[in-house]
Amino acid sequence: MATRYRFGDNENAHFVTFAVINWIDVFSRETYKEILLDSLKFCIQQKGLNLHAWVIMTNHVHLIISCKEGFKQADVLRDLKKFTAKTIIKTIEENQQESRKEWMIWMFKRAGLKNVNNKIYQFWQQDNHPIELTTLEMMQQKMDYIHENPMRAGIVFEPQQYKYSSALSYFEDIEGFLPLERMW
């Protein structure tokens, strides 16, 4: 599916958002968040990803990213989404405690059948909605948006209280789950 949003200059940081199809609350379970965290760590260590800010919500993810020289943000994100989709779906299928298993697998299969880009399942929505951050003002606005997302959703009272976010690193100067290339 074509979208009007494209990665701009690969040297600049980009704000990206990607969501689970039909906004299914997959990431309400720790197990699935851990898969995403491990995949982000792998991309940082092996695929040249620079992670500047992040949050994992119950059904979507926001990141501010850039890449080391020789790597492309679009490629890293494509690989991240492909790997996490396959791994999370497999984990859901094998999870005996997952009360929503049949329904979620049915939804992923139904979405996959409607999309010619998939063989069986579709986990993530197609686009990433990348926005190139060309000014400090844009970077600050997107970082605030990321960090305040759990607060706006009513999950926490203060951004730094949410552990699946980079807010702890920025507000309390404490390293969270993922290594950051801090913006300031």
Indicate the pTM of the whole model: 0.93
Q: Are 68 and 51 in contact (CB under 8 A)?
A: no
In whole numbers, what is the pLDDT of the chain averaged over residues? 93
Please write the tens of the pLDDT for every residue from 16-29. 999 999 999 999 99
Answer CATH for 14-95+123-172 from 3.10.20.30, 3.30.70.1290, 3.10.129.10, 3.40.50.1240: 3.30.70.1290
The residue extents of the domains of the chain are 14-95+123-172
Nearest to 143 by CA among 179, 175, 182, 177: 182
Specify the pairing of strand 14-19 against strand 60-67: antiparallel
Distance between CA 170 and CA 19 in Å, rounded?
24
